[in-house]
């Protein structure tokens, strides 16, 4: 169990690091996906080891994946719009709600 | 008699409607609405008077009727504010006076105010005034009276300042409001003291024949006088403010800045007698509980009457002459109340005061409306611009003459009877007051005829073409008689003035004393022959002097003015009382009280508030950098925060 959790921990902090250090919005989006997946692994691991007869963790994971897909779609739509307006996807340029 | 509520509600509705539509309707529509509503309530109050005076008499005494009563606000068992309608002889009489004059003034204004800007607003305010004045006179308790008292003050303020683009009108409105408000402060204090000791606001309990409510105040004194005396003195000061008694009379002459019909309605006939009405309403309390205050009322009244009459002799603005004459006549009523006894023949003063209030309202409104008609014709308030107008304005001339004869106290006009009663009541009280009042009556006859001759006789009217640049609504260069809407009220009031007089000449017809007296029982008006003959002779002599001096332009007035130059100058400057007030307020109160207060306000209170504001501003500028708009920076801070909280949770138990 600790091994699985170790994997998810590394994934999560890799995501955090990516989120904070990357400039491109696409990379930030990918980092967010990493963190989400780390959380999914945790769900599955805890369900498998702590409550072996139950299925809630698995279902949560399925839902999370579905939501993550939606969120990615929305985020990419936003990024495309930003790119059209600013011709860049650098997050550092986005410090105002309006131009 | 539930329908009496309508008398109050209709003008209020008219005010709200006219006030809301303002200039959206044509002026004519607004004027018609105002006048028609007034016509309806006038008819209603005549009906009320008829019904009251025919049915309310039980054992020869008019009973009080309360057709409407409700509790408005209830604080405790004793402290509750009621609203209601109280009908007794004086309030019914006031209903008739107010609605009659108000209706005539509304009617008159249709023509007088024609084409003025804000015509609709004018009618709305007139309705508001009528509503509040009617509410005042039918009040069942002193608090209701106070509420309407203030409403009357507000509507007076609004109407004086009707020409709000004229600085003098604005100043006059403010002056009237501040002076009366200052007096009302004493009124309020009086009410509070009175009701604190008596535990009631109700007139019924306070003015009962054998009141029990004053037991609580027995023995309670302040600076040598009983608390009730202080309370009643405070209430009288409130009344003195509205009724322009010395030394609070300074606002009334300035109030003539308002339109002339307003002066006729508010500042001659109705509102200014509110103080007299107040004292009359509280008369049993004054008489039984605090006779010393009642005597004070008489002395203040006597002094005011003389003071105002002297000033009226030298003023040159016709409305101001009338204003001072009003002050003097109201003072007559106050004197009559002050010297009055309670029952039977003793109650002459009370009856005389109410009688004079009634007749004075009619002829003074007539005088003001006549003056308005003159002003309308010659476009000036100054005597020197007039003279010889009798050829051009016959109706105004005759009605004005009737009113002058009435106010001078010449029989058979109404003023003779009421003034005669006042004089005989004063003589019974003290020969000095009686003599003084006779002298004032002589002065009254003199200055009224000075005014009359200066307007209608004297030098021929000279046409000043240059001064008549504004002949835009069809005035020729010669002054001419006013249109029907203006002359009808004049004729009506003149007829009333004559009729009231004639009715009292003929025995067997109903007399005023049968309707209104201090106890509600019949009072038989008896003319005291000595007093009557003396006052008529003196008045005739004064009129004769005025005739000699002013009928033809002579040098006598100038000579007299030179001989008594000190008195003349003092009187024409109103004895510098306005200057004294200005000195007291500007130099003493402003410098010693208001300025330090203003300094405190600016430097301590405002500074504290400003300090809060500037500190917030400063802090905001300092922490502005946190909001950089950089999402990653926010996330970083967020992460740090979470880590710190997690560490705290783990390691700090």
Q: What is the pLDDT of residues B91-109, one digit of tens each?
A: 888 889 899 999 988 888 8
Is B627 an 8 Å CB contact of chain A?
no
Cβ–Cβ < 8 Å for B578, B250: yes
Say yes or no to pLDDT of A32 above 80.
yes
Percentage of chain B beyond pLDDT 70 is: 94
Residue B464 clears pLDDT 70, i.e. is over it: no
- Dump pLDDT digits (tens) for B496-553: 888 888 887 777 677 777 777 777 777 777 777 788 888 888 888 888 888 888 777 7
pTM: 0.75
How would residue B471 be classed by pLDDT, with cut points 50, 70 and 90? very low
What are the chain A neighbours of B630 within 8 Å (beta carbons)?
Answer: 91-92, 95
Looking at the complex, does the CB of residue B626 fall below 8 Å from at least one CB of chain A?
no
H-state helical runs in B199-290: 203-206, 227-242, 251-254, 260-264, 274-281, 283-289
State yes or no: pLDDT of B468 exceeds 70. no
Distance CA(B423)–CA(B420), nearest Å, equals 5
Would you call B639 an interface residue with chain A, using a CB distance cutoff of 8 Å?
Answer: yes
Mean confidence (pLDDT) of chain B? 82
Picking from B132, B234, B133, the residue whose alpha carbon sits closest to that of residue B193 is B234
Query: What six digits make up the tokens of B163?
Result: 């020409």
B282-321: per-residue pLDDT in tens?
888 888 888 888 888 889 989 888 888 888 888 888 888 8
Tell me how far apart the alpha carbons of residues B282 and B239 are, in angstroms, rounded to a whole number. Answer: 11
Q: Which residues of B touch A94 (CB under 8 A)?
A: 629, 631
B616 pLDDT above the threshold of 60: yes
Give the closest of B630, B631, B639 to A16, CB-based: B639
* Per-residue pLDDT, A74: 94
| Mean pLDDT score, B413-432 | 85
Cβ–Cβ of A19/B628 closer than 8 Å? no
* Closest among B327, B240, B299 to B433, alpha carbons compared: B299
3 state DSSP class of B184: helix
Q: Phi first, then psi: what are they for B481, rounded to 5°?
A: -60, 145
Q: B632 touching A, CB under 8 A? A: yes
Over residues A65-74, the pLDDT tens digits come to 999 999 999 9
Question: Which has the higher per-residue pLDDT, B58 or B236?
Answer: B236
Mean pLDDT, rounded, for B407-420: 84
So what's the ipTM on this one?
Answer: 0.74
Q: Running DSSP on this structure, what letter comes out for residue B482?
A: P
Strand stretches in B480-614, DSSP E: none
């Amino acid at each position: 169990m600790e091994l699985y959790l170790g994997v998810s921990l590394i994934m999560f902090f890799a995501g955090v690091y990516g989120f904070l250090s990357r400039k491109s919005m696409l990379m930030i989006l990918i980092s967010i996906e990493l963190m989400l997946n780390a959380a999914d692994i945790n769900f599955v691991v805890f369900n498998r080891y702590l409550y072996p007869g139950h299925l809630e963790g698995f279902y949560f994971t399925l839902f999370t994946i579905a939501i993550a897909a939606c969120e990615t779609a929305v985020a990419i739509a936003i990024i495309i719009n930003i790119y059209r307006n600013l011709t860049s996807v650098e997050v550092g340029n986005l410090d105002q709600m309006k131009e | 008699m539930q329908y009496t509520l309508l008398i109050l509600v209709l003008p209020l509705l008219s005010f709200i409607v006219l006030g809301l539509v303002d200039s959206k309707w044509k002026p004519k529509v607004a004027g018609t609405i105002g006048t028609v509503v007034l016509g309806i309530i006038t008819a209603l109050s005549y009906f009320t008077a008829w019904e009251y005076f025919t049915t309310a008499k039980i054992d020869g005494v008019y009973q009080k009727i309360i057709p409407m009563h409700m509790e408005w606000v209830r604080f405790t068992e004793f402290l509750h504010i009621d609203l209601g309608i109280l009908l007794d002889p004086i309030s019914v009489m006031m209903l008739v006076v107010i609605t009659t004059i108000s209706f005539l003034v509304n009617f008159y204004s249709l023509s007088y105010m024609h084409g003025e800007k804000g015509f609709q607003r004018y009618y709305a305010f007139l309705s508001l005034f009528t509503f509040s004045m009617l509410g005042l006179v039918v009040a069942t308790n002193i608090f209701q009276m106070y509420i309407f008292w203030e409403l009357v003050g507000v509507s007076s303020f609004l109407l004086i300042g009707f020409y709000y683009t004229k600085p003098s009108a604005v100043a006059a409105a403010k002056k009237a409001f501040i002076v009366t408000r200052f007096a009302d402060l004493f009124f309020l204090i009086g009410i509070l003291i009175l009701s604190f000791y008596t535990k009631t606001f109700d007139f019924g309990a306070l003015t009962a024949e054998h009141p029990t409510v004053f037991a609580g105040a027995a023995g309670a004194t302040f600076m040598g006088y009983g608390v009730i005396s202080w309370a009643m003195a405070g209430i009288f000061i409130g009344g003195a403010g509205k009724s322009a008694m010395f030394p609070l009379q300074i606002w009334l002459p300035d109030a003539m800045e308002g339109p002339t019909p307003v002066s006729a309605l508010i500042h001659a006939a109705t509102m200014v007698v509110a103080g007299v009405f107040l004292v009359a309403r509280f008369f049993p309390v004054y008489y039984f509980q605090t006779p010393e205050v009642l005597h004070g009322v008489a002395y203040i009244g006597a002094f005011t009457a003389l003071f105002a009459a002297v000033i009226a002799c030298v003023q040159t603005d016709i409305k101001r002459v009338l204003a001072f004459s009003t002050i003097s006549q109201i003072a007559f009523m106050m004197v009559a109340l002050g010297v009055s006894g309670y029952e039977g023949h003793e109650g002459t003063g009370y009856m005389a005061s109410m009688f004079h209030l009634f007749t004075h309202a009619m002829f003074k409104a007539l005088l003001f409306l006549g003056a308005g008609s003159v002003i309308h014709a010659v476009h000036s308030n100054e005597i020197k611009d007039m003279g010889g107008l009798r050829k051009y304005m016959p109706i105004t001339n005759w009605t004005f003459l009737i009113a002058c004869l009435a106010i001078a106290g010449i029989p058979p006009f109404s003023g003779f009877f009421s003034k005669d009663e006042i004089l005989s009541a004063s003589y019974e009280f003290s020969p000095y007051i009686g003599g003084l009042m006779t002298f004032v009556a002589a002065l009254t006859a003199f200055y009224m005829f000075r005014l009359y001759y200066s307007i209608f006789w004297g030098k021929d009217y000279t046409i000043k073409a240059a001064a008549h640049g504004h002949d835009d609504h069809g005035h020729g260069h010669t002054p001419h008689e006013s249109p029907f809407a203006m002359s009808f009220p004049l004729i009506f009031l003149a007829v009333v003035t004559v009729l009231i007089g004639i009715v009292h000449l003929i025995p067997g017809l109903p007399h005023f004393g049968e309707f209104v007296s201090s106890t509600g029982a019949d009072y038989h008006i008896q003319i005291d022959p000595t007093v009557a003959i003396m006052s008529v002779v003196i008045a005739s002599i004064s009129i004769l002097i005025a005739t000699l001096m002013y009928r033809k332009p002579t040098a006598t007035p100038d000579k007299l003015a030179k001989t008594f130059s000190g008195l003349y100058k003092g009187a024409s400057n109103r004895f510098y009382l306005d200057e004294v007030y200005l000195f007291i307020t500007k130099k003493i109160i402003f410098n010693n009280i208001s300025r330090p207060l203003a300094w405190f306000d600016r430097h301590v209170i405002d500074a504290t508030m400003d300090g809060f504001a500037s500190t917030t501003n400063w802090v905001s500028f300092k922490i502005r950098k946190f909001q950089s708009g950089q999402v990653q920076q926010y996330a970083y801070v967020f992460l740090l925060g979470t880590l710190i909280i997690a560490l705290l949770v783990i390691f700090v138990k």
